[in-house]
Amino acid sequence: MHTPEIVLLGGPNSGKTHYFGQLYIRLRRHAGQLQIRSDQGTPPDLSPLEEVLHCLENGRSASHTPTKTWREVLLPLVDAQGSEMNLFWPDYGGEQLETVFKDREVPEAWRDRLSKADGWVLLIRLRKETTYPDVLAELSERAKHSNGSEARPGVWDANARWVELLQILLHVAGLGTVERLRSPRLTVLLSCYDELETSEVLPSKVLATHLPLVSAFIHSLWADDAVSVWGLSALGCALDKDSENDKFIDEGPEHQGWVIASNGGERDADLTQPLAWLLKAS
């Protein structure tokens, strides 16, 4: 019987390390829809988790994953109905995705996972994304006062960068863009959702407001029932790496953080829900 495999994609400062730690704590304490399969026992190498778990238990934020790091933890998961999935959680410096975009070259480890995956989890931290909403008007104005020798900006608009990166990853995975995709299924997590001051009810509308080209590309390429967009606050608040948050410690990290479901609604402390959505659809 095929066990679905899920991979996670996130750039630098996207919050994937904190989500990783908070997810694992909930899995071990049975605080969500998914659990670690008992027949597998403890994953053989938890070294990528040690720092973030220690920091969370002490109410501090974890340090940034070094750029060249590549380690992987296999989390064998199961839901209440007995459906199983293997979550290959890569611990890597998010700058590696930037390198993929810049060099147009995907490492072999990534190629293997992308081609086999039944589902992708994409983390986007909207407050860290650079956009140029008035870029066309700005370029038009510059053209009036320039001889054409002015250098292009060094930072890409996030809309163009994410669409280009997704196309690279899809090409490496051997996936075409002629027909709408049903596999791999895609979950988009808008991380650090507590940073956003938004009155929008649906996370998909928040994505469309901040990154309209990315939203349009995703929803045009994936079938409606094969993509979902969630709001994610893995910590529920900002932590400092040098000082402890007593409230976070006293209440326990498993009671911190929340998600907003793709169909809206109240904050939910079950951080496994976006992954459970992928599993139910497999």
Q: What is the reported pTM?
A: 0.85
Taking each helix axis from N to C terminus, what angle separates 95-103 and 158-172, rounded to the nearest 10 degrees? 80
**280 near 41, Cβ under 8 Å?**
no
225/106: higher pLDDT: 225
User: How much of the chain exceeds pLDDT 70, in percent?
Assistant: 83
- pLDDT value of position 141: 55
pLDDT at residue 45, as a whole number: 67
**More reliable by pLDDT, 8 or 199:** 8
pLDDT value, residue 180: 93
Query: So where are the chain's domains?
Result: 5-280
Class of domain 5-280: alpha beta
Whether the pLDDT of residue 90 is over 80: the answer is: no
Summarize pLDDT for 205-222 with one digit per residue, the tens. Answer: 999 999 999 999 999 999
Which of 228-232, 239-243, 256-260, 273-277 bottoms out in mean pLDDT, i.e. has the lowest?
239-243
Which is more confidently placed, 258 or 176? 258
Q: Read off the pLDDT band of 125 (50, 70, 90).
A: very high
H or E element at residue 9: strand 5-10
Q: Taking residues 84-113, what's their average pLDDT?
A: 74
Q: What is the structure's pLDDT at 268?
A: 93
- The Cα–Cα gap between 236 and 265 comes to 17
List pLDDT tens digits, range 37-47.
877 555 556 77
pLDDT score, position 148 = 44
Three-class DSSP category at 44: coil
pLDDT band of 244, cuts 50, 70, 90: confident
Sheet holding 70-79, edge to edge: 34-36, 70-79, 84-92, 5-10, 119-124, 185-190, 227-233, 258-260
